[in-house]
Amino acid sequence: MNRRSALVSATLVPLLALTTVLHMPQAKAQSMCPPSPVYAGPAVRSAPGAVWQKDFKRSIDGTLPAALQASLGDALDKMLAHVPAASVAVAIPGQGTWTATRGLARKEPPQPVAPDQQFQVASTAKTLTAGVVLQLVEEQKLRLADTVDRWFPDAPNAKLITIEQLLRHTSGLVSFNALPSFGTNYRTPADIIALGTAQKPQFCPGTQWSYTNTGYAMLGVIIEKIEGAPLADVLSKRLLEPLSLTRSVMRQPGVELPVATGHEAGRPVEAPDQYATPYAAGALASTAGDLVRFWHALLAGQVLPEATVHRMFTGMPPMLGVYSGSNSFYGMGVQLYDVPDGPGLMLGHSGGIEGFTSIVAYVPGDDVYIAVSFNEKKVPAEAGLWALLRAVRAYRVLN
């Protein structure tokens, strides 16, 4: 993180980057792992019961007050001193939603962003993947206790790793993008899963936590096998179309999309096909507005039964290692953030990929949804969320 930047100095610690992964020091061979694991990591957390007292069914349709929109717009303009472009959204239940996309889709040569232009939103896609998996569980097409040997018989600990452990990052599998052989060219789902499962497990399934994109790629393949259709089509049918997420699509190799260009330290990143590689772990192109609409629908029980949504936020291990100090905990495709000197408690998910950072979260204390995507890898989207939340808080003090 560039701490010399005024914007970044006001941020949270970056909470999730698709291009980093926690390495656990202890690895155990498959034969050493017990069939009934006991979690031995740091204490887990769950979303406080008070969170679920909120009326999540309140609409976010409508328009926020003009004075609040102006304040949010000023905050966005200040962000653009540090990033080429941003897609942002703020939704207040019972009042309405404000969205904006401003800046340069590409700095060299300069190209302004179009309204509602898509950004790569990386690991925020994991919540959509988890949503589909849990829908399949509700439909009894899958069980959380199912082991992956049915689909991946050659994976390490295949007869022990469960669907729930893949969702929670407690499988022990190495993340494919942490390997030197990963490269920058497009890799198929089979390739990236083979990369991760060829490595010695980091720990016995269910005993520790370690962020692994390999597990979510496996979930994508499992979805395809059960549904008999490509993941992109399943997501569209089950989530994108029913929720009118018209600006969201899974990136596929060789398919051009009007996505903003990613940047690193202000220089464009040329990696269009690379964005398709993360697959179910983070290949989504979207907008802040769509991310907010999805999270509102999720918490409102429009994607899954409310009890299932609550379970997604239970038994969440802390995100340690490279995530130390982030005050973040991981559930089933979701994160619980707790930043007392900033936004406070939040429910959401962050993401980062070459040239982009993103976050979407609901802040219970302020009763507001916020999503931010930057096309600059060096500036965490959490900085933008905090700036927008401060604008909301300042407006409420004066009004």
How open is the CA angle 358-306-246, to the nearest 5 degrees?
45
Tell me if the domain spanning 6-25+43-398 has CATH number 3.40.710.10: yes
Distance, in Å, from the CA atom of 263 to the CA atom of 357, rounded to the nearest integer, reads 10
Residues 6 or more apart from 65 whose CB is under 8 A from it?
95, 395, 399
CA nearest to 12, candidates 389, 325, 288: 325
For the chain, the domains span: 6-25+43-398
The helices-and-strands tally (H runs, E runs) of the chain is 10, 13
Q: What pLDDT is recorded for position 35? A: 86
Is the pTM for the entire model greater than 0.75? yes
Instruction: Write down the pLDDT at residue 187.
Output: 93
Which pLDDT score, from 0 to 100, does residue 1 have?
Answer: 37
The whole-angstrom separation of Cα 375 and Cα 352 is: 10
Low-confidence ranges of the chain (pLDDT < 70): 1-31, 272, 321-326
